[in-house]
Structure 1
Amino acid sequence: MIIPLQPTGKAADAPDLARAPAEFYRQPGPAHDSFGRRINYLRISLTDRCNFRCVYCMPEHGAHFAPRDELLTDAELLRVVRAAAQVGFEKIRLTGGEPTIRRNLLAIVAGIAATPGIREISMTTNGLRLAELAQPLRDAGLTRVNVSIDTLDPDKFRRITRGGDFARVWAGIQAAERAGLTPIKLNTVVVRGYNDEDVVALARLTLERPWQLRFIEMMPLAGVGELAEQSVVPSAEIIARLEQVYGPLQFVGWFGSDPARTYRLPGAVGTLGFISSISEPFCATCNRMRLTADGKLHLCLLRDNELDLRAALRGGASDEDLAALIRQAVWLKPWGHGLPEGIKPTLRGMSELGG
């Protein structure tokens, strides 16, 4: 069974944003949104490009990418990180597209690691280049990785990723473990008709390895919305399938702002995580914002609300101005996604947001 979260507030509790004076956003201290949530986790998309074309992330044809001069430069990105740290952001996750294809990746990681106030830098990657990059990334200051892996069947893997090489990804996971980018978390987006039958084999990995296998419900973002509507596999269905094979799962816990409810197979070394964005939203404990590769601060994964930091950066904003803008964006963060009310994101796809 899914352990439900209890909300700590609702949209009606939000203060009137128009009444907040400008000096409010320049106050010291950690940033909180209008519902009292401490927002301290920034997911940064380093690029909207990727060397895979996964069915749940990008259309097979016709994907549009931002011109390179519209993407944040390395210096601009690090300025945003410094400003975010100034208002209390402590955790950074690098995403994409695929972050390992970003030029100067190691220098970016090192620059973030050197930023006062940042205590954790992680990365979500498809793992294709991880075998060669794991140790250099660890040396630069990366803390750990999440690797996307949606099946253990090489042929099916190639179909889901539209050309991915399973052997290279598996070698990358092993290299990450050797380099100490731990705990290793493996992300599986479960798509009906593609890999819903693979969850049993994937879960088996945790019997002997100290990894967390995270099963993620597919989300209806731009470019794959029609597939998502037809192909979401609720976490409760995945758990039922696993329990038919392994017996009752042990509920380990739900930890702070981690979106995954954690379980364990009987006798397993590792754990299972269930991220149920659609069937069991976890908006009550959300602590994150997203920076797109083209410099927009995206307020909620499944809404289109954004604040343009690139315009401020290129318009002469000071570090204090940037910090105030980030604090303002945090305050404007909505309570949660609007899927129950029929509100669907149309602006960006997963490859632009990084999940």
Structure 2
Amino acid sequence: MAVPVMQRAIAGDERAVPRAGERITRDAYGRPITYLRISLTDRCNLRCVYCMPAHGMKFAPREELLTDEELLRIVRVAAQVGFSRLRLTGGEPTVRPNVVELVRAMAQIPGVEDISMTTNGLLLERLAYDLAAAGLKRINVSLDTLDPQRYRIITRGGRIEKVWAGIAAAEDAGLSPIKLNAVVVRGFNDDEVPALAGLTLERSWQVRFIEVMPLEGVAEVHDTGLVTTAETRARIEAVYGPLEQLEAPLSDPARVYRIPGAKGTIGFISPVSEPFCAFCNRIRLTADGKLRLCLLRADEVDIRGLVRSGASDEALMERIRAAVWRKPWGHGLREGDRRTGRGMSQIGG
């Protein structure tokens, strides 16, 4: 009887190692890795407190970032390896020049079945219709507060009115279901959790509450501001009563619930208190061309250097397969490993 790939890998069986020419999309633990999160830029038009430090932020020189041609080539090769889902992130992906053309080109690559985006929403009002026409399917919008003045404080200058206009445009363009991402930080917005959850009562949105993570440059925000999912859920249930749990794919980092009778849903993403590493199906491509194997580990594999050296598609495939194979089991926060190496805007959300 065949031994499962996870058991073979743990046992050190050489048969578990991928060979040249094989279409392998599983890591050494047997997890299918089919989801590529692509950072289009490390730049952003906001400076959120849980993402960037207030001072001293350094952005990569333009020449270190992947060009459009390099990026599209990597995506074509990744699709051949088995990556069928793409999520465009940043920094802020909508500030990338030619973002609509990039989406259109990616949507036409054989093997790419789904393209989504995580954005702060500030530029969506003018981009949503073009992005949808180009092939973008869905968006997640970062919205940590409903209060305009507090939004300016959390984002260090953002205008929430632009976000609401962007969400309306995205919904009108068919980029649905709309998901709103709220990073819950004690003393910043934890008191607004019930109000944010209440957005789902009359709208078919999903509001997702995310635990703050100890990323480079903002680890102190995690240390003093972490609000666990258990506490966030308790705040919601104190107002709306017990939540109904719904089924969701195991690979989805959010555990999904509904306020009884609500049109929308609530998601809880708990990387700190309830890690979902066992079902992780993703790796990240940073804007400067590194394959990031885990959001919270510093281990990266260079792909830009290989592209610029004139390597063949076959060599790129083998580099991607090797990166997938060495993806770590988990992020190691519980073991005290906090060597993330980069901030969120540099990695890609």
1:77 aligns with 2:71: yes
Length-normalised TM-score, structure 2: 0.96
Deviations 1:65-95 (A, max 9, x none): 1000000000000011011101110000000
Letter in 2 for 1:353: I
> Compared with structure 1, are the counterparts of its residues 164 and 41 closer, same or farther at alpha carbon in structure 2 (3 Å cutoff)?
same
C-alpha distance 61-12 of structure 1, shift in aligned 2 (>3 A): farther
CA drift of 1:16 comes to: 4.6
Q: Find the residue that maps to 1:254 and give its secondary structure.
A: coil
Check the 8 A contact 1:9/1:284 in 2, yes or no: no
Counterpart of 1:308 (choices 295, 302, 316) is: 302
- Matching of residue 290 in structure 1 with residue 284 in structure 2: yes
Which residue, 312, 328, 339 being the options, matches 2:333? 339
Q: In the TM superposition, what is the alpha-carbon distance from 1:13 to its structure 2 partner?
A: 5.5
Contact 1:25 1:327 in 2 (8 A): no
Structure 2 CA distance for aligned equivalents of residues 15 and 152 of structure 1: 51
CA contact (8 A) 1:11 1:335 kept: no
CA distance in 2, matches of 1:21, 1:259: 27
Instruction: Point out where structure 2 has 5 or more consecutive residues left out of the alignment.
Output: none
Look up the SS of the partner of 1:204 in the other structure: helix
CA drift at 1:21: 10
Is structure 2 residue 187 aligned with structure 1 residue 193? yes
Q: What's the RMSD between the two structures over aligned residues?
A: 1.9
Once residues 56 and 262 of structure 2 are traced to their aligned partners in structure 1, the CA distance between those partners, rounded to angstroms, is 43
4+ aligned runs moved over 3 Å, structure 1: 8-17, 19-22
Report the secondary structure of 2:310's partner residue: coil
Judge conservation of contact 2:8–2:16 (CA < 8 Å) in 1. Answer: no
CA positional deviation for 1:340: 1.0
Residue 10 of structure 1 and its aligned partner are, at CA, apart by: 8.8
Match of 1:3 in 2: none
Q: 1:302 to 1:346 in 2, by over 3 A?
A: closer
Distance change in 2, residues 1:240/1:21 (3 Å): closer
Q: TM-score, normalised by structure 1?
A: 0.94
Name the residue aligned to 1:14: 10
| Counterpart position of 1:348 | 342
Q: Which amino acid aligns with 1:14?
A: I
Answer yes or no: is the 8 Å Cα contact 2:5–2:28 preserved in 1.
no
How far apart are residue 288 of structure 1 and its match?
A: 0.1
Say whether residues 1:28 and 2:22 are aligned partners.
Answer: yes
Q: Which residue of 1 is the match for residue 94 of structure 2?
A: 100
Q: 1:194 and 1:275, CA in 2 relative to 1: closer, same or farther beyond 3 A?
A: same
**Does the alignment pair 1:151 with 2:152?**
no
Q: Residue type matched to 2:145 in 1?
A: T
The answer to whether the 8 A contact 1:44-1:92 is kept is yes
Q: Report the alpha carbon displacement of residue 354 of structure 1 after superposing the two structures with TM.
A: 2.0
Instruction: Give 2:343's aligned amino acid.
Output: G
CA contact (8 A) 1:211 1:271 kept: yes
Structure 1 position 15, deviation (Å): 5.6
1:219 to 187, 210, 213: 213
What residue number does 1:324 align with? 318
Residues paired across the two proteins, number = 346
Q: Distance in 2 between matches of 1:30 and 1:202?
A: 41
Does 1:63 pair with 2:63? Answer: no
Structure 1 SS opposite 2:247: strand
Match of 1:253 in 2: 247
